Chains A and B, each alone.
Chain A
């Protein structure tokens, strides 16, 4: 397979499920790609469909009535409609996932080491001792102190940060080419957050893995990601290189998200600006721009669903740049 193809290429992915006789769209026509050794951030509020997107790529949605359409090519292999049997060989080996809450993500009745060994031994023909040696090695690499002893401990005996490190070690145990991290730092202390983000950032060098980082925190994106995709109410709002998006956001929603990051330097503002209102529930999504009801710049042309248009190096689902009124560039500093 040629190296210039993206590792993961998602085209028009839509996810909907049936509830009381209606199809409720959760994710609508989302497209993006992840290159080799790249970190892509997917940003959005809760309910924006970012986790559902990740679960769809992992094939972890099998609730009855769920419909997934579009395409997701992973190393040229179509994931949409792939059988669970085939997914099993991908999951954990080619694509792994880490979750928000390391408290509950490990099975409470087995040791950390046992659970990592299990993943290795499911995918590779390797002896018990061989698997354990790799587990200990991985835990050490992830900065877990005294990895041999830690491997024999139960999840509840470890701190949140250590558990998340163990989780990442488990995710990396079969050298996956893509790691999906769903809010990996949300449940952790601020100091631990920074360490975990460091760890994720260095994966591409040490393990050659690409990372799909799902977060609601623009600050996390600024620290970690190469490129970013902003989701709003199940649709792509903006997409592009992180640096460009941070310098000049094209979508008012992105702008508002950036405004809500506390500045790293200078005087702290009394109150951070917040976005009034809440995203619309899937069934009440307006036919036009979903952000329109909360947008400062809303006007007539927003009543028609805006398509993604190129804006510099970004793609923006907003009419403002095309109408000649782009948002003002932001002072450097956040990125």
Chain B
């Protein structure tokens, strides 16, 4: 057990290290990419270039640059932005995190409830029009580009129908902190939540239905029916509970990616200053410290979520416990 944990930890650290190296190389060692030129501006004089190069330590060997950056990011936590001079990077991320967390958590709550309902109902009415209709809806959900859906949602709720009773309650684009006004927070986020959840509802609903249908052919489902259980109990207590194993592992990864900045398109469209948007801005400015910090932040979440999923797996599937 302990060796397994240690091995898991080593793997995790290895993946994190790999990501940091990968990001570092992409932005420092891509052929033709010179960070000095970016910071100094397009037509900077050679003297300025030299000054910038020395100031930021770009004249030192790559491993040293990497080590310095990691030290400043994780140990002294005083890494500063290249673009906004002297702006520390870590607090910026701390500021953006609650926005992203609110967005991802609310969206996740919606898509979990919606997709479990959708998948279960479709499986229960397998082969009927209800089933087919729900699956087509799911497929449409998967096919919608989220940034476009966001725009259309804005068009409807902010402009076309904003003056009617239906959407007059929707505040302007942007985030309202929960501590400031819980109802404002909710109203500002409900449309983004739904837009974010549409895609995942489609994916999860379809996956769950497929799993439930596959499970219905299993021997244990026949046993459950032979025991005299009601169809609902067979489907929910035996089928759904067993099928949730795949569902949860998918959920862990997707949720982690969202928290780690994967929701940036939603954030951009709805003007939410979250981690995704922050990362996007950092990328646009090629602000390496900020990129490094946000990507590492995101990777930590993904890797952590992987570990959490493994733990939940153990709870959900007793077979894994003994493996």
**Contact surface of A with B, Cβ cutoff 8 Å:** 58, 60, 64, 84, 88-93, 96-97, 99, 101, 104-110, 118-119, 122-123, 154, 156-157, 167, 170
A329 to B186, CA, bound (A): 86
Contact A60 B322 (CB under 8 A): no
Segment 224-243 of B: residues with Cβ below 8 Å from A: 224-231, 233, 237-238, 241-242
Q: For the complex formed, measure the closest distance between the CB of B156 and the CB atoms of chain A, giving whole angstroms.
A: 41
Starting from the known contacts A101-B219, A109-B245, 19 additional A-B residue pairs (CB-CB under 8 Å) come to A58-B226, A64-B127, A84-B231, A88-B228, A88-B230, A92-B228, A97-B226, A104-B220, A105-B222, A106-B220, A107-B220, A108-B242, A109-B241, A109-B318, A119-B228, A122-B227, A154-B318, A156-B319, A156-B322
| Chain A residues, CB < 8 A from B316 | 109
Could you name 14 residue pairs across A and B whose Cβ atoms are closer than 8 Å?
A60-B226, A84-B231, A88-B229, A90-B228, A92-B227, A96-B226, A101-B219, A104-B220, A108-B317, A109-B317, A109-B318, A110-B241, A119-B229, A156-B318
Query: Nearest B residue to A107 by beta-carbon distance?
Result: B220
Assembly CA distance A5 to B127 (angstroms): 42
Q: Which residues of A contact B219 (CB under 8 A)?
A: 99, 101, 104-105
Q: Which listed residue, A90, A93, A108, touches B220 by the CB 8 Å rule?
A: A108
**Alpha-carbon distance A259/B322, docked complex (angstroms):** 46
**4 closest residue pairs by CB, A with B:** A92-B228, A91-B228, A104-B219, A154-B318
B222 touches A60 (CB 8 A): yes
Rounded to whole angstroms, the CA-CA distance of A89 and B229 in the bound complex is 9
Asked if B223 is at the interface (CB within 8 A of a chain A CB), the reply is yes
Is A107 a contact partner of B224 (Cβ separation < 8 A)?
yes
Q: Return chain A residues, CB-CB under 8 Å to B225.
A: 60, 91
CB B298 to nearest CB in A, in angstroms, measures 32
Residues of B within 8 A of A109 (CB): 241-242, 245, 316-318
Listed in ascending order, the chain B residues whose CB lies under 8 Å from chain A are 127, 218-220, 222-231, 233, 237-238, 241-242, 245, 316-319, 322
Q: How distant is A27 from chain B, measured CB to nearest CB, in Å?
A: 18
Known A109-B241, A109-B318, A154-B319; judge A104-B218 contact (CB<8 A): yes
- Give the docked Cα–Cα distance between A93 and B227 (Å): 8
CB distance from A130 to the nearest CB of B (A): 18
Q: What is the CA–CA distance of A108 and B245 in the complex, to the nearest angstrom?
A: 12
Known: A105-B219, A109-B241. A119 touches B317 (CB 8 A): no
A122: min CB distance to chain B, Å: 6
> Are the C-beta atoms of A106 and B226 separated by less than 8 Å?
no
Bound together, the chains give a CA A64 to CA B228 distance in angstroms of 21
Q: How far does the alpha carbon of A90 sit from the alpha carbon of B317 in the complex, in Å?
A: 31
A108 contact from B230, B231, B318, Cβ within 8 A: B318
Measured between alpha carbons, how far is A154 from B316 in the docked complex, in Å? 12
Residues of B within 8 A of A107 (CB): 220, 223-224, 238, 241-242
Kindly list chain B residues whose C-beta atoms are within 8 Å of the C-beta of A89: 228
| B228 lies within 8 A of A105 (CB) | no
A58 → chain B closest CB, angstroms: 6
User: What residues on A are CB-neighbors of B223 within 8 Å?
Assistant: 97, 99, 105-107, 167
Q: Select from chain B the residue with minimum beta-carbon distance to A153.
A: B318
In the complex the two chains form, is B317's CB within 8 Å of A123's CB?
Answer: no
Enumerate chain A residues within 8 angstroms of B228, measured Cβ to Cβ. Answer: 88-93, 119, 122-123
Q: Is the CB of A92 within 8 A of B226?
A: yes
CB distance from A39 to the nearest CB of B (A): 19
From B127, B226, B316, residue with most partner A Cβ within 10 Å: B226
A233 vs chain B, min Cβ distance (A): 24
Q: Within the complex, what minimum Cβ distance (angstroms) separates A186 from chain B?
A: 13
Residue of B nearest to A116 (CB): B227
Give complex CA distance A110, B241 in Å.
Answer: 10
Q: How far is the CA of A90 from the CA of B229 in the complex (A)?
A: 10
Interface centre among A90, A99, A108, A167 (most CB of B within 10 A): A108
For B230, what are the chain A residues with a Cβ–Cβ distance below 8 Å? 88
> Cβ of B222: which chain A residues have Cβ within 8 Å of it?
60, 99, 105
Residues on A with C-beta less than 8 A from B319 are 108, 154, 156
